[in-house]
Structure 1
């Protein structure tokens, strides 16, 4: 049974509505009645009904003022206004307050039945929309679970390529499910911790403190900063997977791969790297190729071209990309890019980036 309150300064109207509800056998129970606005507001506060039927012209506090006050305390209550004064100004204000219906006196069985039917139609629509939203959320949570399982699986298999794809999908899904900053921070941090633990189980030499930090995550003040920090942790995990995938468990090589990923745009020679780790250039050259599976020069070139492709996709001009990835000679960059990709940077840019799209 729906709970209903009637407010009208005419006793006969209150009793008439009760009688009509009984005669029509509608699924409503009158749980309270009042004959002025002040008393009516108190009844609404106490009963928190599903529906209130109120006259506009009542003593103490007019009906629209009752509605305006009650809306803040009982947001789920629906209001129907009745009045012998069918003036546009009243109806207009009633609509701004979210009143569900407006009927003139005398209140007949047909008017009452139609008004309540429209209220129930609104409930049905709301329930449908809520159910639809809940179903969409359930499906999104299921999608996140699957993405997370894929991420864990890619770590245990040492599949850096799959983990990169996981990272992209996971961040997009988390942002959609948790638009609130604190929720996003909490859930993202939980995911990062579990992924870090899985990596540590797979690669015992990795220390958790070197991957994820609650203190660092707490310092992030915006969604963008939280995302950037999380992306950094995921990138670090991916570097470990990349090193492991190439057979490299050598601490020095892992350190250099991380350094190169952050400074690929600088003019870095093998001798500089050798000085950085206290090795001879000849020994580092052999060690790098043995551990990574390719020469240092080819690795750096591949890394720069990969970064260049991403910048071109993001809409940067070719001469800008050339400088950003460490090639001060524009023509040399174009030659290297074409040799690597089989097309010029401008041709690649035209294929993948459309400013109108």
Structure 2
């Protein structure tokens, strides 16, 4: 417990009793800065608690009878409450995550949950607490992940990929560095860029390979290694998928109309 400071009051919303009890148990045992001060079985009950009590964090399921988790999140934002909301769901469909991001959920994690996920998510929650919360406050607390913070987060990843595409990169690496759930970060990346992480990384590598081939300074094998492909056959396959021809044919016919060239 933080000496001299009150715990973060947490509201857990889920229509499944075992899930409510499980979250309460993990938070009590493993998250000493938090206390579950209220539980609700649907969004309407949650709103009642929020109107009457000082809540610092909401953890909510999506699919519930009556007002579901996304409707609850939307209502919270409509009322101008800047409370961080953590979405937990057994459903991995992109539309759910997209809506959660749109309405300002700070994270979206999938069931079945484990202790590590919950502990990590609650640690991240502290960084998005609004100034009125009882705990530590960061500069970006009042900026929801759907707007400037989310865009900046993805822009940082995009820039890192552009500068380091030759390295062995994955969205999991960035999620661990930045303290976000990998699935959530992947969906946020696609939401902001219109492309999946792997697609974006591949495009950066292929465009670099094209420029290197045009320069004529390196062999095709060396180019493959330079942009992060230790296996030439794999590089050749990806390059052909991207350009429509093998690297050697591209090199031999560089400058011609590519759609008129066929590999013999």
Q: Report the TM-score when normalising by structure 1.
A: 0.35
Q: Report the TM-score when normalising by structure 2.
A: 0.46
- The structure where helix makes up a greater share of residues is 1
Q: Using CA pairs below 8 Å that are at least 6 residues apart, which structure has the higher relative contact order? A: 2
Pair member with larger Rg: 1
